[in-house]
């Protein structure tokens, strides 16, 4: 089946709500009108409730109860509000076939997103919100392949059970990989170009010129989260990460291991959006 056929099956692909469209368009726009965004959020009572729940959580330590949407926006700040709105919107919008574990999918997505943000804050000095968003949608292509062609996606998974790498399995079954699917979907949803490029190049960021720092960060974050989930030691994660990738990001393996040992989890409480 061709790449074009997957996207031609538009009736089975998700359409994102207006408020998410505005949030996505706000990336890189210094003149974004928060009043307009706030009014759109106000029309979504469940989303407003989620924002108030986050604003009143111990993580933000407000000395008094935050009772209104405007108070929550002031306390959290626009980057955090954007992250929560985008995360909740995607959680609610994207449908899952019965064969996929929705909670496990989003738990991993939030963990990779949190790790991307941590790497940006700790090592690379890149925009942490863009990094977080890239991590949050890094496996969107795999989900879309399951939604549109569930039988083929299951066939690819069976090949991984037999020992094949997931990317190679997808290439054999579909003729393309979920990185390309996710990048194309991000383009159609009008995510900024750096995020689309990072999604496309995340599997082998060293194979592209010019190299995307965001793709390298995403690759490293995914590796860290997957190996931590497999209970691999911190030292093993650092020592077995591609040396060229660490050099490209100007990260010292020993320093990475030292700082990782201080981390308990990366999801930042975002998994609460699933409840």
Rounded Cα–Cα distance for residues 138 and 130 (Å): 12
Write down the residue that tokens 């989303």 correspond to: 47
The predicted structure's pLDDT at residue 58: 74
For the beta carbon of residue 233, count every other beta carbon within 10 angstroms. 13
Residue 218: the pLDDT is 96
pLDDT at 118: 94
pTM given for the model: 0.90
CA-CA distances (angstroms) from residue 213 to 76, 125, 126, 260? 28, 11, 9, 20
Domains held by the chain: number: 1
Give me the pLDDT at residue 215, please.
97
The domain spanning residue 88 has which CATH number?
A: 1.10.3210.10
Whole-angstrom CA distances from 30 to 27, 34, 251 are: 8, 11, 30
DSSP character for 98? T
Average pLDDT, consecutive stretches of 10 residues, N- to C-terminus, the chain (275 residues): 74 72 80 80 86 81 85 86 86 83 91 94 90 94 89 92 91 94 91 95 93 95 85 69 87 88 77 67
* Spatial contact of 47 and 88, defined as CB atoms under 8 Å apart: yes
Token pair, residue 100, equals 């996929």
Domain that holds residue 67: 3-274
Spatial neighbors of 5 by CB under 8 A, at least 6 apart, are none
The pLDDT of residue 205 is 94
User: What is the Cα Rg of the chain in Å?
Assistant: 19
CB 201 within 8 A of CB 220: no
What whole-number distance in Å separates Cα of residue 61 and Cα of residue 55?
8
Say what angle helices 78-93 and 34-42 make with each other, to 10 degrees.
Answer: 40
DSSP-based three-state secondary structure for 47: helix
């Amino acid at each position: 089946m061709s790449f074009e056929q997957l996207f031609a099956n538009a009736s089975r692909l998700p359409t994102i709500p207006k408020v998410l469209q505005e949030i996505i368009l706000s990336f890189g726009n210094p003149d974004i009108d928060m009043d307009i965004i706030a009014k759109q959020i106000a029309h979504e009572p469940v989303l407003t409730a989620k924002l108030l729940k986050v604003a009143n959580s111990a993580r933000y330590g407000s000395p008094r109860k935050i009772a209104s949407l405007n108070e929550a926006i002031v306390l959290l700040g626009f980057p955090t509000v954007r992250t929560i709105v985008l995360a909740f919107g995607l959680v609610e919008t994207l449908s899952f076939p019965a064969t996929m574990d929705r909670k496990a999918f989003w738990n991993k997505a939030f963990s990779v997103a949190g790790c991307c943000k941590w790497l940006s804050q700790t090592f690379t000095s890149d925009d942490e919100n863009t990094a977080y968003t890239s991590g949050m949608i890094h496996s969107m292509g795999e989900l879309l392949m399951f939604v549109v062609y569930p039988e083929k996606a299951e066939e690819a998974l069976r090949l991984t059970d037999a020992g094949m790498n997931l990317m190679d399995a997808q290439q054999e079954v579909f003729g393309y990989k979920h990185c390309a699917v996710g990048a194309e979907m991000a383009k159609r949803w009008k995510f900024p170009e750096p995020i689309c490029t990072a999604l496309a190049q995340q599997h082998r960021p060293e194979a592209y010129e010019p190299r995307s720092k965001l793709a390298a960060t995403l690759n490293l974050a995914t590796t860290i989260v997957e190996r931590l989930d497999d209970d691999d030691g911190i030292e093993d994660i650092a020592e077995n990460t591609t040396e060229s990738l660490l050099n490209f990001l100007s990260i010292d393996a020993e320093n990475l291991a030292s700082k990782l040992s201080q981390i308990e989890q990366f999801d930042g409480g975002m998994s609460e959006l699933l409840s």
